Structure 1
Amino acid sequence: MPSEKPSPAQGSWPLRFEPGERTARRAAGEWPGLTLAGVATRMAQDHPDDIAVMDECGALDYVTCLRRATDMARGLYEIGLHPGDTVSFQLPNWTEAVILNVACALGGFVINPVIPIYRQAELTFILADCRARIAFIPERWRGVDYGAIYEELRAELPGLKAVATVRGAGELAFEDIEARGRDAHHALQAADPDDAKLIIYTSGTTGQPKGVLYSHNQSRRPLSQSFETWGLKAGDTLLMPSPVTHVTGYSYGMEMPFQFGTRTILMERWDAAEALAISRREQVDFMIGATPFLAELASEAEKLGERLPSLRIYACGGAAVPPALIDRANRLFENCRAFRVFGSSECPMVTQGCLDDPDRAARSDGRVNDWEVKIVDDEDQPLPPGIEGEILARGPSLFRGYTDPEATKETFDSQGYFRTGDLGILTADGILTVTGRKKDIIIRGGENLSAKEIEDALHTHPAIKEAAVVSMPHDRLGEGVCAYVIPATSAPMPSVAQLVDFLKQYGLARQKCPDRIEAVNDLPRTASGKVQKHILRNMIREKLRGAAGNPS
């Protein structure tokens, strides 16, 4: 890609705003007009030597981060990127991801985090859909040769002009681009606060991931609410086990230090014993993570008699959270308030927990904060407090639409509320409890998995005539993947291990492969022929409960 003067990219992402919304939210102070570029520059000036983020390989202070991010932004200009272009990264929780995120803000690029578990099938779709111009990857990580995967993909992605390796050798390395930028003198063209900043993908009910669009204003807003509601302060330390390629890890792990002066410790791999040691050594103040993280941290602490006196906050979400787990954590960690929260990639932190009521902290998903929420029936009619229905939400943190305009149209009601696809009950005093899902997804260890995507892959197997995928209880991950299959008469039924090998060859991530297969002669259906998945979920739940009660 030749060196050339940067100019605005063609086809910038159109963002969805309600009529008059920008003016109203600015006037209310909900969107202060700050960008990551601006706050990162301010922190480097005011607190140059303070640590912003650290991983197991070292720490990154504010002034070093800004310097390296500036070099990276100019280096991206040098290799031919323009403001508005999309920069993808499929990285673990490494500090290079933080540098890249700040660089994209400085240079006016759109950042696209990609979950490390994704393989060919997901990557081909995502990188084409977001119009990625460059992707940053590890050469190898956890036994996976990412270089080989991307080499195979590039023939199908003519718009992907470069692949850069991080912490490894390659044709183009992260440091090479930094070096190019160090000698360049391009004026940085940071984005407007209302411009597209982030595209993060979430599994949709149609089976294909959906590209969720955010501007700078929406990226900041949930952080400001958490900072205030949870009683955080500058200098507090966050231990972040969630991937920075998820909206939680991205926002709280990579952005909060620059917005509010907290310090992030990134965990590359989750290990409860290591998390406990880090928390004790670094005096960790708060954590945000899915159910398995809290459950395993509590078990490890209980085993060692560790009370973690510095830990004040644990916000738990992303998967089913048993009330007993919150109760246990609040008993075990002597100064900690653990609580459930509710949100998604499209509407982060709709609730911020119930810090003043331990019972509600464990048995509800918390108080609605900074959002308007309504509960509706199947005809979109609002329901009174205490009645279950679909949760719809709107507010200053709401995403600005999908990369697919048709998907955007389908997901908002006439008043601008987002249809979450989740079922819940809202009390008169604003306490929300999520009771189920209309979406056909499985939340496995905090990862949203599309049942249809897994079914589509299963249907390519010659031994399977029809498949229906549902969630099943899983002790550690919250939910597992159960596939009910009608075998084809012409072939023997594969084992789970054989099916996993087949699906991995198909290009499906290992985490999406079924944990269990149930061969059946038929599937329960409605009169119109639709599979009744609630019956299948009940069947596997009862079967597992019976097996637990009769171990013989």
Structure 2
Amino acid sequence: MNLSDRLQETAEQHAGKTAYHFMDQSASYAELNGAVNKMANYLTEAGVKKGDHVGLLLGNSPHFVISMYAVMRIGATVIPINPIYTPDEIAYILRDGDVKVVVALDLLLPLVEKAHAALPGIVQYVICETAPDAHEKIAALPEAVKGKVTAFMHATGTQSPLYQGPDIDEEDTAIILYTSGTTGKPKGAMLSHKNVFSNAKDVAEYLNITGEDRVVTALPMFHVFALTVVLNAPLINGGTMLIVPRFSPKDVFDVVQKHKATVFAGVPTMYNFLLQYPEATGESFESVRLCISGGASLPVALLHQFEGKFNVRVSEGYGLSEASPVTCFNPLDRERKAGSIGTSITNVENKIVNELGEEVPPGEVGELIVRGPNVMKGYYKMPEETAAAIRDGWLYTGDLAKQDEEGYFFIVDRKKDMVIVGGYNVYPREVEEVLYEHEAITEAAVVGVPDMNYGEAVHAFVVSKDPSLTKEDLLAFCSSKLAKYKLPTVIEFIDELPKNTTGKILRRALRDQVRQG
């Protein structure tokens, strides 16, 4: 069984059941499955074959759900990409991921025009219409570009709602998720059909997500947390997605109350904004039976304040792209421990090991490693990185953790030096590389600092040989090369970076300097 087959099965058994609500639209499982088949037929006509790669540059919408399931149904591989990435970041993933077809927002048409010459391997762009003048903008494209561009509605409008696809093996690659690497360039984690189906099924079972649930889908769909927990998990059991185009406290509360939502999932930043929303009352989440938190550590004080105000349980969990992503959640049938990421979910093993790979006793800190049907096949075109990450069947997360006597895990520290801004991973090396590209910068170091709204923020220390260089100059330089959430909120000019005797930059000293400053 895989996700595509399961959707087909649900559409046959519960044809009239609502699969999703989106703004003023809704669709039954039969309608969703028919739309998936239409898109699969179009992509096949466009030359997409089993094993090809299709990039999705989309926000939260039915377009994303339909396109993702259509690509998997063909036996091709989905590569979701954050649409707010800069052109350079997007181009790298499209090129490295060997993408053949792109499904994108109409807002990205200017990027499509530029990509035509830079990325000749892409044979077709399917543009999802969100603006009233989308068709006019497509029509205004140069003829050479226009031949590769088709509107989503036009592409699927004349296709059959029936589709007979190829046989799909559970080990075939379903999704490649690009995750920023500590070495600078993003790495593509290859997730098989077995990986993503098993994790959606096991998460749904562990959190008791059923066909009766109405799940708020406000997390960005291109992110693995959303893919499994608020998209695939509800669909796998015939639940209903309540799709929110982009997160805002007002929209979330409106959707919860209008559709009597039962499950909400978000990163700590979302919980902070919901808690602070002035019009929210204790009854605003009255229908919600479970809130799920992930993406970053949820401050215990925030957890207690949120639960106290809205009278709803918040279950914190843990995951990473390489594990599809979920490995732990606080169980629903036992004690919820504040500050803990919970216990191993169904069919997944977590354990804490020392530097020799030996399991350590409860209470002792070590590296968290994971084994299960959810662990990735490896990194795309990176055999050495794959061998370093997966050893003897265990995925080494790089996170320091400990386990108590009852099997609950606690993250002690995150991957070395990583900064988490609103649930998104920012690796200092990537930001530093961009800073070093500026001709006036001789040294640069980036650390994470506490931020009330986003959990953490990016703080950059730079050494410049040009005394006239300003923070504004550097931010303008970086903004064309980095997504907004990766940009430094503070740039501090110093004479020299602190280093140890071997010349290694002492990041801890920089963090201490920020705290003392």
Structure 2-normalised TM-score?
0.92
Q: What's the secondary structure of 1:341's corresponding residue?
A: strand
Kindly indicate whether residue 484 of structure 2 is the aligned counterpart of residue 510 of structure 1.
yes
1:305 shift after superposition: 4.1
Q: What's the secondary structure of 1:117's corresponding residue?
A: coil
Kindly indicate whether residue 504 of structure 2 is the aligned counterpart of residue 527 of structure 1.
no
1:411 shift after superposition: 0.9
| Pairs within 5 Å for 1:485-496 | 485-488=462-465, 490-495=466-471
Q: Percent identity among equivalent residues? A: 29
Residues 541, 354 of structure 1: CA spacing in aligned structure 2 closer, same or farther, 3 A cutoff? farther
2:397 pairs with 416, 420, 437, which one? 420
Contact 1:236 1:262 in 2 (8 A): yes
Residues 500, 54 of structure 1: CA spacing in aligned structure 2 closer, same or farther, 3 A cutoff? farther
Kindly indicate whether residue 212 of structure 2 is the aligned counterpart of residue 250 of structure 1.
no
Return the alpha-carbon distance in structure 1 between the equivalents of residues 451 and 37 of structure 2: 45
Kindly indicate whether residue 87 of structure 2 is the aligned counterpart of residue 120 of structure 1.
yes
Q: Who is 1:367 aligned against?
A: 343
Return the alpha-carbon distance in structure 2 between the equivalents of residues 133 and 437 of structure 1: 35
1:227 shift after superposition: 2.1
Return the alpha-carbon distance in structure 1 between the equivalents of residues 464 and 401 of structure 2: 37
Kindly indicate whether residue 461 of structure 2 is the aligned counterpart of residue 484 of structure 1.
yes
Return the alpha-carbon distance in structure 2 between the equivalents of residues 379 and 537 of structure 1: 30
Kindly indicate whether residue 272 of structure 2 is the aligned counterpart of residue 295 of structure 1.
yes
Q: Who is 2:69 aligned against?
A: 102
Contact 1:462 1:491 in 2 (8 A): no
Q: Who is 1:195 aligned against?
A: 172
Return the alpha-carbon distance in structure 2 between the equivalents of residues 452 and 316 of structure 1: 27
Q: What's the secondary structure of 1:459's corresponding residue?
A: helix
1:155 pairs with 111, 117, 120, which one? 117
Residues 406, 159 of structure 1: CA spacing in aligned structure 2 closer, same or farther, 3 A cutoff? farther
| Pairs within 5 Å for 1:233-248 | 233-248=210-225
1:540 pairs with 493, 514, 517, which one? 514
1:433 shift after superposition: 0.5
1:307 shift after superposition: 4.7
Kindly indicate whether residue 308 of structure 2 is the aligned counterpart of residue 341 of structure 1.
no
Q: What's the secondary structure of 1:471's corresponding residue?
A: strand
Kindly indicate whether residue 351 of structure 2 is the aligned counterpart of residue 389 of structure 1.
no
Kindly indicate whether residue 12 of structure 2 is the aligned counterpart of residue 45 of structure 1.
yes
1:306 shift after superposition: 3.0
1:84 pairs with 51, 54, 63, which one? 51
Amino acid in the other structure paired with 1:345? S
Residues 283, 93 of structure 1: CA spacing in aligned structure 2 closer, same or farther, 3 A cutoff? same
Contact 2:37 2:70 in 1 (8 A): yes
Q: What's the secondary structure of 2:189's corresponding residue?
A: strand
1:187 shift after superposition: 4.1
Amino acid in the other structure paired with 2:189? V
Q: What's the secondary structure of 2:482's corresponding residue?
A: coil
Return the alpha-carbon distance in structure 2 between the equivalents of residues 351 and 187 of structure 1: 37
Contact 2:400 2:414 in 1 (8 A): yes
Amino acid in the other structure paired with 1:151? E
Q: What's the secondary structure of 1:524's corresponding residue?
A: coil
1:474 shift after superposition: 0.6
Contact 1:54 1:95 in 2 (8 A): no
Residues 367, 422 of structure 1: CA spacing in aligned structure 2 closer, same or farther, 3 A cutoff? same
| Pairs within 5 Å for 1:7-86 | 34-86=1-53
Contact 1:355 1:361 in 2 (8 A): no
Amino acid in the other structure paired with 1:194? E
5+ residue gaps in structure 2? 139-148
Contact 2:281 2:310 in 1 (8 A): no
1:535 shift after superposition: 2.1
Residues 268, 186 of structure 1: CA spacing in aligned structure 2 closer, same or farther, 3 A cutoff? closer
Q: Who is 1:314 aligned against?
A: 291
Return the alpha-carbon distance in structure 2 between the equivalents of residues 267 and 303 of structure 1: 18
1:457 pairs with 434, 441, 448, which one? 434
Between the two proteins, the alignment pairs up a number of residues equal to 498
5+ residue gaps in structure 1? 1-33, 141-145, 544-552
Amino acid in the other structure paired with 1:86? H
Return the alpha-carbon distance in structure 2 between the equivalents of residues 367 and 253 of structure 1: 20
1:279 pairs with 240, 249, 256, which one? 256
Return the alpha-carbon distance in structure 2 between the equivalents of residues 332 and 428 of structure 1: 31
| Pairs within 5 Å for 1:463-474 | 463-474=440-451
Kindly indicate whether residue 306 of structure 2 is the aligned counterpart of residue 332 of structure 1.
no
1:232 shift after superposition: 2.7
- Deviations 1:270-294, CA, capped at 9 Å, x for gaps: 1112211211111111111100111
Return the alpha-carbon distance in structure 1 between the equivalents of residues 375 and 81 of structure 2: 20
Amino acid in the other structure paired with 1:128? R
1:356 shift after superposition: 5.2
2:475 pairs with 491, 495, 500, which one? 500
- Deviations 1:78-122, CA, capped at 9 Å, x for gaps: 111211111111101010111111211221111111112212221
